A and B are shown apart, each in its own frame.
Chain A
Amino acid sequence: MNASKREAIDRLLKMVFRATGLVTIGLLGGIFFMLLFNSIAFFAKGNPIDFFTGSQWNPGSDAGNYSILPLLASTGFVALGSMMIAVPLGIFTATFLSELAPDTLRTILKPVIEMLAAIPSVAIGFLGIVLVGPAIARVFGIQNGLNALNGSILLAIMALPTIITISEDAISAVPKTYKEASLALGANKWATLFQVTLPAALPGLIAAVMLGLGRALGETMTVLMATGNAAALPKGFLDSIRTITATIAIEMGEVPYQTTHYFALFAIAVVLFIITLLINLLGEFFANRLRKFHA
Protein backbone atom coordinates (compact mmCIF):
# COMPACT_ATOMS: atom_id res chain seq x y z
CA MET A 1 0.00 0.00 0.00
CA ASN A 2 2.65 2.46 1.09
CA ALA A 3 4.98 1.36 -1.61
CA SER A 4 2.46 1.99 -4.34
CA LYS A 5 1.70 5.38 -2.83
CA ARG A 6 5.38 6.28 -3.00
CA GLU A 7 5.52 5.13 -6.58
CA ALA A 8 2.48 7.22 -7.37
CA ILE A 9 4.12 10.30 -5.85
CA ASP A 10 7.21 9.54 -7.89
CA ARG A 11 5.22 9.27 -11.11
CA LEU A 12 3.30 12.43 -10.32
CA LEU A 13 6.43 14.44 -9.62
CA LYS A 14 8.09 13.09 -12.69
CA MET A 15 5.17 14.46 -14.62
CA VAL A 16 5.38 17.78 -12.76
CA PHE A 17 9.08 18.11 -13.54
CA ARG A 18 8.54 17.16 -17.14
CA ALA A 19 5.68 19.64 -17.48
CA THR A 20 7.62 22.53 -15.91
CA GLY A 21 10.64 21.61 -17.93
CA LEU A 22 8.70 21.58 -21.17
CA VAL A 23 6.81 24.78 -20.29
CA THR A 24 10.12 26.51 -19.62
CA ILE A 25 11.62 25.26 -22.83
CA GLY A 26 8.44 26.26 -24.64
CA LEU A 27 8.56 29.76 -23.20
CA LEU A 28 12.14 30.19 -24.27
CA GLY A 29 11.35 28.76 -27.68
CA GLY A 30 8.49 31.24 -27.82
CA ILE A 31 11.02 34.05 -28.11
CA PHE A 32 12.02 32.86 -31.51
CA PHE A 33 8.45 32.37 -32.74
CA MET A 34 7.35 35.74 -31.38
CA LEU A 35 10.17 37.46 -33.25
CA LEU A 36 9.46 35.52 -36.37
CA PHE A 37 5.72 36.10 -36.29
CA ASN A 38 6.00 39.84 -35.74
CA SER A 39 8.67 40.36 -38.35
CA ILE A 40 6.71 38.37 -40.90
CA ALA A 41 3.94 40.88 -40.22
CA PHE A 42 6.42 43.62 -41.09
CA PHE A 43 7.63 42.05 -44.29
CA ALA A 44 4.04 41.46 -45.35
CA LYS A 45 3.39 45.19 -45.03
CA GLY A 46 6.70 46.73 -45.97
CA ASN A 47 9.24 46.15 -48.63
CA PRO A 48 11.85 43.53 -47.70
CA ILE A 49 14.28 44.76 -50.34
CA ASP A 50 14.25 48.33 -49.08
CA PHE A 51 14.77 46.95 -45.60
CA PHE A 52 18.17 45.59 -46.53
CA THR A 53 19.27 47.99 -49.24
CA GLY A 54 17.80 51.38 -48.35
CA SER A 55 19.98 53.99 -46.75
CA GLN A 56 17.72 55.56 -44.18
CA TRP A 57 16.08 54.61 -40.95
CA ASN A 58 13.52 57.34 -40.52
CA PRO A 59 10.19 55.99 -39.29
CA GLY A 60 8.92 59.50 -38.54
CA SER A 61 8.94 60.64 -42.13
CA ASP A 62 5.73 60.35 -44.08
CA ALA A 63 6.96 57.67 -46.42
CA GLY A 64 8.35 55.73 -43.48
CA ASN A 65 11.88 54.70 -44.32
CA TYR A 66 12.74 51.44 -42.67
CA SER A 67 16.21 50.45 -43.70
CA ILE A 68 18.31 48.47 -41.34
CA LEU A 69 21.54 49.35 -43.15
CA PRO A 70 22.67 52.39 -41.14
CA LEU A 71 21.77 50.64 -37.89
CA LEU A 72 23.51 47.46 -38.91
CA ALA A 73 26.58 49.40 -40.01
CA SER A 74 26.62 51.26 -36.70
CA THR A 75 26.24 48.07 -34.72
CA GLY A 76 29.01 46.32 -36.60
CA PHE A 77 31.22 49.38 -36.52
CA VAL A 78 31.09 49.94 -32.78
CA ALA A 79 31.40 46.21 -32.03
CA LEU A 80 34.43 45.83 -34.29
CA GLY A 81 35.98 48.85 -32.65
CA SER A 82 35.48 47.29 -29.27
CA MET A 83 37.06 44.04 -30.44
CA MET A 84 40.13 45.93 -31.69
CA ILE A 85 40.65 47.04 -28.12
CA ALA A 86 39.41 44.03 -26.21
CA VAL A 87 40.92 41.16 -28.20
CA PRO A 88 44.63 41.96 -27.76
CA LEU A 89 44.10 43.21 -24.23
CA GLY A 90 42.02 40.20 -23.26
CA ILE A 91 44.27 37.57 -24.81
CA PHE A 92 47.43 39.13 -23.41
CA THR A 93 45.89 39.27 -19.97
CA ALA A 94 44.70 35.68 -20.26
CA THR A 95 48.18 34.61 -21.35
CA PHE A 96 49.73 36.40 -18.43
CA LEU A 97 47.24 34.88 -16.01
CA SER A 98 47.61 31.30 -17.16
CA GLU A 99 51.30 31.16 -18.08
CA LEU A 100 53.22 33.73 -16.09
CA ALA A 101 51.31 34.82 -13.02
CA PRO A 102 52.15 33.04 -9.77
CA ASP A 103 49.25 31.20 -8.15
CA THR A 104 48.69 33.78 -5.44
CA LEU A 105 48.44 36.58 -7.97
CA ARG A 106 46.04 34.53 -10.05
CA THR A 107 43.72 33.91 -7.11
CA ILE A 108 43.57 37.67 -6.59
CA LEU A 109 43.16 38.61 -10.25
CA LYS A 110 40.40 36.14 -11.13
CA PRO A 111 37.86 37.72 -8.75
CA VAL A 112 38.93 41.15 -10.04
CA ILE A 113 37.87 40.08 -13.51
CA GLU A 114 34.64 38.61 -12.21
CA MET A 115 33.95 41.90 -10.45
CA LEU A 116 34.45 43.73 -13.72
CA ALA A 117 31.86 41.44 -15.29
CA ALA A 118 29.44 42.14 -12.47
CA ILE A 119 29.28 45.91 -12.93
CA PRO A 120 25.85 46.72 -14.43
CA SER A 121 25.92 48.02 -17.98
CA VAL A 122 24.06 51.15 -17.01
CA ALA A 123 26.89 52.12 -14.66
CA ILE A 124 29.40 51.66 -17.48
CA GLY A 125 27.24 53.79 -19.73
CA PHE A 126 27.06 56.43 -17.03
CA LEU A 127 30.85 56.52 -16.90
CA GLY A 128 30.82 56.87 -20.68
CA ILE A 129 28.90 60.09 -20.24
CA VAL A 130 30.78 61.57 -17.29
CA LEU A 131 34.30 60.19 -17.78
CA VAL A 132 35.09 58.75 -21.21
CA GLY A 133 33.05 61.28 -23.22
CA PRO A 134 34.75 64.41 -21.83
CA ALA A 135 38.14 62.68 -22.10
CA ILE A 136 37.58 61.92 -25.79
CA ALA A 137 36.38 65.46 -26.40
CA ARG A 138 39.56 66.82 -24.82
CA VAL A 139 41.98 64.46 -26.56
CA PHE A 140 40.55 64.93 -30.05
CA GLY A 141 39.61 68.55 -29.61
CA ILE A 142 35.98 67.94 -30.48
CA GLN A 143 32.93 69.32 -28.82
CA ASN A 144 31.13 66.22 -27.82
CA GLY A 145 32.53 62.88 -26.80
CA LEU A 146 29.37 60.88 -27.36
CA ASN A 147 30.39 58.88 -30.42
CA ALA A 148 31.41 55.49 -31.77
CA LEU A 149 34.82 55.58 -30.11
CA ASN A 150 33.23 56.09 -26.72
CA GLY A 151 30.88 53.19 -27.35
CA SER A 152 33.74 50.98 -28.50
CA ILE A 153 35.79 51.67 -25.39
CA LEU A 154 32.86 50.88 -23.10
CA LEU A 155 31.91 47.75 -25.02
CA ALA A 156 35.53 46.62 -24.84
CA ILE A 157 35.36 46.91 -21.06
CA MET A 158 32.17 44.86 -21.05
CA ALA A 159 33.54 42.18 -23.37
CA LEU A 160 36.89 41.85 -21.59
CA PRO A 161 35.80 39.55 -18.76
CA THR A 162 34.22 37.11 -21.22
CA ILE A 163 37.28 37.09 -23.46
CA ILE A 164 39.74 36.77 -20.59
CA THR A 165 37.90 33.96 -18.81
CA ILE A 166 37.39 31.80 -21.88
CA SER A 167 40.87 32.46 -23.31
CA GLU A 168 42.43 31.61 -19.98
CA ASP A 169 40.56 28.32 -19.83
CA ALA A 170 41.68 27.56 -23.38
CA ILE A 171 45.33 28.36 -22.71
CA SER A 172 45.43 26.43 -19.44
CA ALA A 173 43.83 23.47 -21.19
CA VAL A 174 46.80 23.06 -23.54
CA PRO A 175 48.43 19.81 -22.41
CA LYS A 176 51.69 20.16 -20.51
CA THR A 177 53.27 17.58 -22.82
CA TYR A 178 53.15 20.05 -25.73
CA LYS A 179 55.13 22.61 -23.82
CA GLU A 180 57.54 20.04 -22.47
CA ALA A 181 58.14 18.70 -25.96
CA SER A 182 58.90 22.17 -27.24
CA LEU A 183 61.15 23.04 -24.32
CA ALA A 184 62.94 19.72 -24.69
CA LEU A 185 63.74 20.62 -28.29
CA GLY A 186 65.59 23.64 -27.02
CA ALA A 187 62.99 26.30 -27.69
CA ASN A 188 62.93 28.97 -25.03
CA LYS A 189 59.93 29.86 -22.90
CA TRP A 190 58.73 32.65 -25.18
CA ALA A 191 59.07 30.76 -28.40
CA THR A 192 57.15 27.93 -26.77
CA LEU A 193 54.45 30.32 -25.65
CA PHE A 194 53.94 32.00 -28.99
CA GLN A 195 54.68 29.12 -31.33
CA VAL A 196 53.23 26.17 -29.44
CA THR A 197 50.91 27.10 -26.59
CA LEU A 198 48.90 29.91 -28.18
CA PRO A 199 48.43 28.16 -31.56
CA ALA A 200 47.28 25.04 -29.72
CA ALA A 201 44.75 27.14 -27.83
CA LEU A 202 43.63 28.95 -30.99
CA PRO A 203 40.15 27.43 -31.34
CA GLY A 204 39.49 28.41 -27.72
CA LEU A 205 40.77 31.92 -28.34
CA ILE A 206 38.48 32.25 -31.35
CA ALA A 207 35.59 31.01 -29.24
CA ALA A 208 36.44 33.63 -26.62
CA VAL A 209 36.50 36.40 -29.22
CA MET A 210 33.20 35.21 -30.70
CA LEU A 211 31.43 35.19 -27.37
CA GLY A 212 32.91 38.58 -26.50
CA LEU A 213 31.71 39.91 -29.83
CA GLY A 214 28.25 38.50 -29.17
CA ARG A 215 28.20 40.34 -25.89
CA ALA A 216 29.26 43.61 -27.55
CA LEU A 217 26.71 43.33 -30.36
CA GLY A 218 23.83 42.76 -27.99
CA GLU A 219 24.65 45.37 -25.40
CA THR A 220 22.00 48.08 -25.13
CA MET A 221 22.39 50.54 -22.31
CA THR A 222 26.01 51.53 -22.75
CA VAL A 223 25.65 52.29 -26.45
CA LEU A 224 22.32 54.00 -25.88
CA MET A 225 23.92 56.33 -23.36
CA ALA A 226 27.32 56.90 -24.91
CA THR A 227 27.15 56.94 -28.69
CA GLY A 228 25.03 60.00 -29.51
CA ASN A 229 22.37 58.03 -31.42
CA ALA A 230 22.50 59.64 -34.88
CA ALA A 231 20.94 57.27 -37.38
CA ALA A 232 23.26 58.05 -40.27
CA LEU A 233 25.87 55.77 -41.81
CA PRO A 234 29.02 56.13 -39.71
CA LYS A 235 32.10 57.52 -41.45
CA GLY A 236 34.61 57.47 -38.63
CA PHE A 237 35.06 56.68 -34.98
CA LEU A 238 34.29 60.24 -33.99
CA ASP A 239 30.82 60.13 -35.55
CA SER A 240 27.70 59.58 -33.56
CA ILE A 241 26.10 56.27 -34.29
CA ARG A 242 22.95 54.43 -33.41
CA THR A 243 22.96 50.67 -32.99
CA ILE A 244 20.11 48.24 -33.48
CA THR A 245 19.76 47.74 -29.74
CA ALA A 246 19.64 51.48 -29.04
CA THR A 247 17.04 51.96 -31.75
CA ILE A 248 14.80 49.35 -30.21
CA ALA A 249 15.31 50.82 -26.76
CA ILE A 250 14.49 54.34 -27.92
CA GLU A 251 11.57 53.60 -30.17
CA MET A 252 9.80 50.53 -28.83
CA GLY A 253 8.23 52.32 -25.88
CA GLU A 254 6.94 54.99 -28.15
CA VAL A 255 5.14 53.19 -30.95
CA PRO A 256 1.51 52.17 -30.98
CA TYR A 257 1.32 48.38 -30.90
CA GLN A 258 0.70 46.46 -34.14
CA THR A 259 1.70 49.31 -36.48
CA THR A 260 4.29 49.10 -39.25
CA HIS A 261 6.85 50.85 -37.09
CA TYR A 262 6.22 48.38 -34.26
CA PHE A 263 6.71 45.41 -36.57
CA ALA A 264 9.77 47.07 -38.09
CA LEU A 265 11.40 47.09 -34.67
CA PHE A 266 10.75 43.38 -34.37
CA ALA A 267 12.27 42.89 -37.79
CA ILE A 268 15.51 44.57 -36.79
CA ALA A 269 15.42 42.56 -33.56
CA VAL A 270 15.24 39.37 -35.63
CA VAL A 271 18.29 40.42 -37.60
CA LEU A 272 20.16 41.10 -34.36
CA PHE A 273 18.94 37.82 -32.91
CA ILE A 274 20.17 35.86 -35.91
CA ILE A 275 23.53 37.59 -35.92
CA THR A 276 24.18 36.97 -32.24
CA LEU A 277 22.93 33.42 -32.60
CA LEU A 278 25.31 32.72 -35.47
CA ILE A 279 28.20 34.24 -33.59
CA ASN A 280 27.44 32.24 -30.47
CA LEU A 281 27.09 29.05 -32.49
CA LEU A 282 30.41 29.76 -34.15
CA GLY A 283 31.96 30.32 -30.75
CA GLU A 284 30.51 27.07 -29.51
CA PHE A 285 31.74 25.27 -32.61
CA PHE A 286 35.30 26.39 -31.93
CA ALA A 287 35.01 25.63 -28.23
CA ASN A 288 33.89 22.11 -29.11
CA ARG A 289 36.74 21.69 -31.54
CA LEU A 290 39.16 22.59 -28.79
CA ARG A 291 37.52 20.08 -26.48
CA LYS A 292 37.69 17.29 -29.06
CA PHE A 293 41.21 18.22 -29.99
CA HIS A 294 42.49 17.82 -26.47
CA ALA A 295 40.31 14.87 -25.53
Chain B
Amino acid sequence: MKARLIIFLNWFVLLGSTLLVCAVLGIILVDIFSKGMSSVTWEFISQPPAKGMTQGGILPAIIGTLWLTLITTLFAVPFGVACAIYLNEYAFPSILTNVIRASIRNLAGVPSIIYGLFGLALFVQAFRLGTSVLSAGLTLGLLSLPYIITTTEEALKRIPNSMREATLALGATQFETIKDVVLPSALPGILTGVILTLSRAAGETAPILFTGVAFYINGLTSSVNQEFMALPYHIYMLSTQHQSIEQVRPLAYGTSVVLIAMVFLLNLTAFYIRFKNRTQQ
Protein backbone atom coordinates (compact mmCIF):
# COMPACT_ATOMS: atom_id res chain seq x y z
CA MET B 1 0.00 0.00 0.00
CA LYS B 2 2.73 2.37 1.01
CA ALA B 3 4.75 1.50 -2.06
CA ARG B 4 1.76 2.29 -4.23
CA LEU B 5 1.34 5.64 -2.57
CA ILE B 6 4.97 6.48 -3.25
CA ILE B 7 4.63 5.51 -6.88
CA PHE B 8 1.52 7.63 -7.13
CA LEU B 9 3.31 10.58 -5.53
CA ASN B 10 6.27 10.20 -7.83
CA TRP B 11 4.07 10.22 -10.88
CA PHE B 12 2.13 13.09 -9.47
CA VAL B 13 5.20 15.25 -8.89
CA LEU B 14 6.88 14.53 -12.22
CA LEU B 15 3.77 14.78 -14.35
CA GLY B 16 2.55 17.75 -12.32
CA SER B 17 5.78 19.67 -12.96
CA THR B 18 5.56 18.99 -16.64
CA LEU B 19 1.95 20.08 -16.79
CA LEU B 20 2.79 23.20 -14.82
CA VAL B 21 5.50 24.15 -17.30
CA CYS B 22 3.07 23.66 -20.16
CA ALA B 23 0.44 25.63 -18.27
CA VAL B 24 2.86 28.54 -17.93
CA LEU B 25 3.25 28.73 -21.69
CA GLY B 26 -0.51 28.31 -22.03
CA ILE B 27 -1.27 31.12 -19.61
CA ILE B 28 1.21 33.45 -21.27
CA LEU B 29 -0.16 32.84 -24.73
CA VAL B 30 -3.83 32.79 -23.75
CA ASP B 31 -3.56 35.98 -21.74
CA ILE B 32 -1.69 37.90 -24.38
CA PHE B 33 -3.65 36.64 -27.35
CA SER B 34 -7.10 36.85 -25.73
CA LYS B 35 -6.55 40.42 -24.62
CA GLY B 36 -4.46 41.50 -27.55
CA MET B 37 -6.10 40.02 -30.61
CA SER B 38 -8.94 42.54 -30.58
CA SER B 39 -6.43 45.38 -30.91
CA VAL B 40 -4.67 43.81 -33.86
CA THR B 41 -6.45 45.15 -36.89
CA TRP B 42 -5.17 46.13 -40.29
CA GLU B 43 -5.10 49.75 -39.11
CA PHE B 44 -3.04 48.77 -36.08
CA ILE B 45 -0.38 47.26 -38.29
CA SER B 46 -0.44 49.85 -41.03
CA GLN B 47 -0.85 53.15 -39.18
CA PRO B 48 1.52 55.28 -37.11
CA PRO B 49 0.57 56.10 -33.51
CA ALA B 50 -1.83 59.01 -33.02
CA LYS B 51 -3.08 61.26 -30.23
CA GLY B 52 -0.02 61.07 -28.02
CA MET B 53 0.30 57.36 -28.77
CA THR B 54 -3.04 56.56 -27.18
CA GLN B 55 -4.50 55.55 -30.52
CA GLY B 56 -3.40 54.51 -33.96
CA GLY B 57 -1.02 51.73 -34.81
CA ILE B 58 2.53 50.56 -34.53
CA LEU B 59 3.78 50.75 -38.10
CA PRO B 60 6.97 52.70 -37.23
CA ALA B 61 7.84 50.09 -34.58
CA ILE B 62 7.33 47.24 -37.05
CA ILE B 63 9.45 49.00 -39.67
CA GLY B 64 12.08 49.78 -37.02
CA THR B 65 12.31 46.15 -35.94
CA LEU B 66 12.60 45.06 -39.58
CA TRP B 67 15.42 47.56 -40.15
CA LEU B 68 17.14 46.34 -37.06
CA THR B 69 16.86 42.69 -38.05
CA LEU B 70 18.10 43.49 -41.55
CA ILE B 71 21.23 45.23 -40.28
CA THR B 72 21.83 42.51 -37.72
CA THR B 73 21.61 39.91 -40.47
CA LEU B 74 23.88 41.77 -42.86
CA PHE B 75 26.51 42.13 -40.18
CA ALA B 76 26.29 38.98 -38.11
CA VAL B 77 25.61 36.32 -40.72
CA PRO B 78 28.61 36.86 -43.03
CA PHE B 79 30.99 37.59 -40.17
CA GLY B 80 29.68 34.77 -38.02
CA VAL B 81 29.71 32.21 -40.80
CA ALA B 82 33.14 33.34 -41.98
CA CYS B 83 34.48 33.07 -38.45
CA ALA B 84 33.02 29.60 -38.05
CA ILE B 85 34.51 28.55 -41.39
CA TYR B 86 37.86 29.94 -40.34
CA LEU B 87 37.77 28.10 -37.02
CA ASN B 88 36.47 24.81 -38.38
CA GLU B 89 38.00 24.59 -41.85
CA TYR B 90 41.18 26.63 -41.88
CA ALA B 91 42.57 27.07 -38.39
CA PHE B 92 44.70 24.16 -37.28
CA PRO B 93 43.31 22.78 -34.04
CA SER B 94 45.46 24.00 -31.18
CA ILE B 95 45.17 25.22 -27.64
CA LEU B 96 44.59 28.69 -29.01
CA THR B 97 41.60 27.71 -31.15
CA ASN B 98 40.14 25.78 -28.26
CA VAL B 99 40.48 28.81 -26.03
CA ILE B 100 38.84 30.94 -28.72
CA ARG B 101 36.00 28.45 -29.04
CA ALA B 102 35.45 28.33 -25.30
CA SER B 103 35.45 32.13 -25.13
CA ILE B 104 32.90 32.37 -27.91
CA ARG B 105 30.66 29.83 -26.20
CA ASN B 106 30.89 31.82 -22.99
CA LEU B 107 30.19 35.09 -24.77
CA ALA B 108 26.80 33.62 -25.64
CA GLY B 109 26.10 33.64 -21.91
CA VAL B 110 27.10 37.26 -21.34
CA PRO B 111 24.09 39.38 -20.33
CA SER B 112 22.63 41.25 -23.26
CA ILE B 113 22.80 44.57 -21.43
CA ILE B 114 26.59 44.29 -21.47
CA TYR B 115 26.46 44.09 -25.25
CA GLY B 116 24.44 47.27 -25.02
CA LEU B 117 27.26 48.94 -23.10
CA PHE B 118 29.77 47.72 -25.64
CA GLY B 119 27.64 48.98 -28.52
CA LEU B 120 27.40 52.35 -26.81
CA ALA B 121 31.14 52.60 -26.26
CA LEU B 122 32.14 51.21 -29.66
CA PHE B 123 29.56 52.19 -32.25
CA VAL B 124 27.88 55.23 -30.73
CA GLN B 125 31.02 56.83 -29.32
CA ALA B 126 34.19 55.45 -30.87
CA PHE B 127 32.84 55.01 -34.42
CA ARG B 128 30.73 58.17 -34.13
CA LEU B 129 27.64 56.52 -35.54
CA GLY B 130 25.51 58.26 -32.92
CA THR B 131 22.32 56.79 -31.57
CA SER B 132 20.92 55.24 -34.70
CA VAL B 133 19.42 52.12 -36.18
CA LEU B 134 22.89 51.33 -37.54
CA SER B 135 24.49 51.39 -34.07
CA ALA B 136 21.68 49.36 -32.59
CA GLY B 137 21.69 46.84 -35.44
CA LEU B 138 25.44 46.36 -35.15
CA THR B 139 25.10 45.92 -31.38
CA LEU B 140 22.48 43.23 -31.87
CA GLY B 141 24.78 41.76 -34.51
CA LEU B 142 27.56 41.45 -31.95
CA LEU B 143 25.11 39.82 -29.56
CA SER B 144 24.14 37.34 -32.28
CA LEU B 145 27.68 36.51 -33.38
CA PRO B 146 28.51 33.92 -30.69
CA TYR B 147 25.27 32.03 -31.38
CA ILE B 148 25.79 32.11 -35.13
CA ILE B 149 29.41 31.03 -34.84
CA THR B 150 28.60 28.12 -32.52
CA THR B 151 25.59 26.84 -34.47
CA THR B 152 27.45 27.19 -37.77
CA GLU B 153 30.43 25.35 -36.40
CA GLU B 154 28.16 22.57 -35.17
CA ALA B 155 26.63 22.33 -38.62
CA LEU B 156 30.09 22.25 -40.22
CA LYS B 157 31.28 19.59 -37.81
CA ARG B 158 28.43 17.33 -38.83
CA ILE B 159 29.78 17.22 -42.38
CA PRO B 160 31.98 14.12 -42.43
CA ASN B 161 35.61 14.57 -43.37
CA SER B 162 35.24 11.99 -46.11
CA MET B 163 33.13 14.57 -47.95
CA ARG B 164 35.95 17.07 -47.89
CA GLU B 165 38.49 14.44 -48.90
CA ALA B 166 36.34 13.49 -51.87
CA THR B 167 36.67 16.86 -53.56
CA LEU B 168 40.20 17.54 -52.36
CA ALA B 169 41.32 14.26 -53.90
CA LEU B 170 39.77 15.34 -57.18
CA GLY B 171 42.07 18.35 -57.17
CA ALA B 172 39.66 20.93 -55.80
CA THR B 173 41.18 23.73 -53.75
CA GLN B 174 40.16 24.10 -50.16
CA PHE B 175 37.92 27.03 -50.97
CA GLU B 176 36.21 25.10 -53.76
CA THR B 177 35.62 22.27 -51.32
CA ILE B 178 34.02 24.63 -48.83
CA LYS B 179 31.96 26.42 -51.47
CA ASP B 180 30.77 23.39 -53.41
CA VAL B 181 30.41 20.69 -50.80
CA VAL B 182 30.73 21.79 -47.20
CA LEU B 183 28.52 24.87 -47.24
CA PRO B 184 25.69 23.39 -49.33
CA SER B 185 25.52 20.35 -47.06
CA ALA B 186 25.68 22.43 -43.90
CA LEU B 187 23.20 25.00 -45.17
CA PRO B 188 20.05 23.71 -43.43
CA GLY B 189 21.89 23.57 -40.10
CA ILE B 190 23.35 27.04 -40.57
CA LEU B 191 20.00 28.44 -41.65
CA THR B 192 18.22 27.00 -38.63
CA GLY B 193 20.78 28.53 -36.30
CA VAL B 194 20.68 31.87 -38.06
CA ILE B 195 16.89 32.13 -38.00
CA LEU B 196 16.66 31.16 -34.33
CA THR B 197 19.36 33.70 -33.49
CA LEU B 198 17.60 36.43 -35.44
CA SER B 199 14.31 35.72 -33.73
CA ARG B 200 16.08 36.13 -30.42
CA ALA B 201 17.72 39.36 -31.57
CA ALA B 202 14.42 40.77 -32.82
CA GLY B 203 12.94 40.38 -29.35
CA GLU B 204 15.87 41.90 -27.47
CA THR B 205 15.38 45.22 -25.74
CA ALA B 206 18.30 45.80 -23.40
CA PRO B 207 21.04 46.23 -26.05
CA ILE B 208 19.08 48.84 -28.00
CA LEU B 209 18.11 50.93 -24.98
CA PHE B 210 21.05 53.29 -25.32
CA THR B 211 22.11 52.68 -28.87
CA GLY B 212 19.26 54.35 -30.70
CA VAL B 213 15.75 53.29 -29.87
CA ALA B 214 13.27 56.16 -29.53
CA PHE B 215 10.06 56.62 -27.65
CA TYR B 216 8.36 58.05 -30.67
CA ILE B 217 9.34 59.12 -34.15
CA ASN B 218 6.97 61.02 -36.34
CA GLY B 219 7.60 59.09 -39.52
CA LEU B 220 9.10 55.85 -40.74
CA THR B 221 12.79 55.21 -40.26
CA SER B 222 14.19 55.64 -43.73
CA SER B 223 17.93 55.82 -43.28
CA VAL B 224 20.41 53.96 -41.14
CA ASN B 225 21.53 56.96 -39.14
CA GLN B 226 18.08 57.80 -37.91
CA GLU B 227 16.73 56.72 -34.59
CA PHE B 228 13.93 54.19 -34.66
CA MET B 229 11.05 52.64 -32.79
CA ALA B 230 11.13 48.91 -32.09
CA LEU B 231 8.41 46.47 -31.08
CA PRO B 232 9.97 45.23 -27.83
CA TYR B 233 10.85 48.71 -26.65
CA HIS B 234 7.38 49.88 -27.62
CA ILE B 235 5.90 47.26 -25.27
CA TYR B 236 8.25 48.38 -22.50
CA MET B 237 7.39 52.02 -23.10
CA LEU B 238 3.63 51.48 -23.30
CA SER B 239 3.60 49.44 -20.12
CA THR B 240 5.89 51.54 -17.94
CA GLN B 241 6.58 54.97 -19.40
CA HIS B 242 3.43 56.18 -21.01
CA GLN B 243 1.32 58.78 -19.28
CA SER B 244 -1.94 56.88 -19.48
CA ILE B 245 -0.91 53.30 -18.93
CA GLU B 246 -4.46 52.04 -18.45
CA GLN B 247 -5.64 53.69 -21.62
CA VAL B 248 -2.87 52.26 -23.76
CA ARG B 249 -2.89 48.79 -22.24
CA PRO B 250 -4.80 47.32 -25.21
CA LEU B 251 -2.11 48.77 -27.45
CA ALA B 252 0.59 47.13 -25.32
CA TYR B 253 -1.24 43.80 -25.59
CA GLY B 254 -1.65 44.26 -29.32
CA THR B 255 2.04 45.04 -29.76
CA SER B 256 2.93 41.93 -27.74
CA VAL B 257 0.75 39.83 -30.01
CA VAL B 258 2.53 41.19 -33.09
CA LEU B 259 6.00 40.66 -31.59
CA ILE B 260 5.31 37.15 -30.33
CA ALA B 261 3.66 36.19 -33.62
CA MET B 262 6.70 37.45 -35.49
CA VAL B 263 9.12 35.56 -33.26
CA PHE B 264 7.08 32.36 -33.42
CA LEU B 265 6.87 32.60 -37.17
CA LEU B 266 10.66 32.71 -37.37
CA ASN B 267 10.91 29.79 -34.95
CA LEU B 268 8.43 27.71 -36.91
CA THR B 269 10.42 28.38 -40.09
CA ALA B 270 13.52 27.11 -38.33
CA PHE B 271 11.70 24.01 -37.02
CA TYR B 272 10.40 23.34 -40.51
CA ILE B 273 13.85 23.53 -42.07
CA ARG B 274 15.27 21.28 -39.37
CA PHE B 275 12.42 18.81 -39.69
CA LYS B 276 12.62 18.69 -43.48
CA ASN B 277 16.36 18.22 -43.35
CA ARG B 278 16.06 15.42 -40.83
CA THR B 279 13.44 13.52 -42.81
CA GLN B 280 15.55 13.81 -45.94
CA GLN B 281 18.52 12.13 -44.36
Name A residues whose Cβ lies closer than 8 Å to a Cβ of B: 6-7, 9-10, 13-14, 16-18, 20-25, 27-31, 34-35, 38, 88-90, 92-93, 95-97, 100-101, 109, 111-116, 118-127, 129-131, 157, 160, 164, 190, 211, 214-215, 217-221, 224-225, 245, 248-249, 252-253, 257, 265-266, 269, 272-273, 276-277, 279-281, 284
Contact = CB atoms under 8 A, between A and B. Distances in A.
A242 to B, nearest CB: 13
A253 B223 CA distance: 23
24 contacts: A18-B90, A18-B91, A35-B114, A88-B17, A90-B21, A92-B18, A93-B17, A96-B17, A112-B25, A115-B264, A118-B263, A119-B260, A121-B206, A123-B259, A131-B31, A160-B21, A190-B10, A220-B206, A245-B111, A248-B116, A249-B113, A249-B209, A252-B116, A265-B117
B100 interface: yes
A21 B84 CA distance: 7
Contacts of B24: 116, 157, 160
A225 B118 CA distance: 23
B110 A31 contact: yes
Interface residues of B, number: 83
Main secondary structure of the interface of B (DSSP, over half): helix
Given A30-B118, A225-B236, 6 more contacts: A24-B79, A24-B82, A38-B121, A112-B25, A120-B202, A280-B106
Nearest to B267: A118
A88 B100 CA distance: 34
Interface in B13-64: 13-18, 20-22, 24-25, 27-28, 31-32
A118 B204 CA distance: 11
A103 to B, nearest CB: 15
Contacts of A119: 25, 28, 203, 260, 263
A211 B18 contact: no
Contacts of B11: 100
B228 to A, nearest CB: 15
A95 to B, nearest CB: 6
Contacts of A253: 209-210
A13 B178 CA distance: 11
A225 B111 contact: no
A183 B252 CA distance: 55
Main secondary structure of the interface of A (DSSP, over half): helix
B28 A127 contact: yes
Contact of B7 (A6, A114, A124, A190): A190
Contacts of B205: 120-122, 220-221
B125 A20 contact: no
A189 to B, nearest CB: 8
A30 B175 contact: no
A269 B78 contact: no
B71 to A, nearest CB: 15
Contact of B22 (A9, A88, A109): A109
Q: Across chains A and B, which 10 residue pairs bring their CB atoms closest together, nearest first?
A: A218-B111, A120-B203, A21-B86, A92-B17, A10-B173, A220-B206, A20-B82, A24-B83, A280-B109, A96-B14
Nearest to B26: A112
Given A14-B174, A126-B252, A21 B82 contact: yes
Contacts of B173: 6-7, 9-10
Contacts of A92: 13-14, 16-18
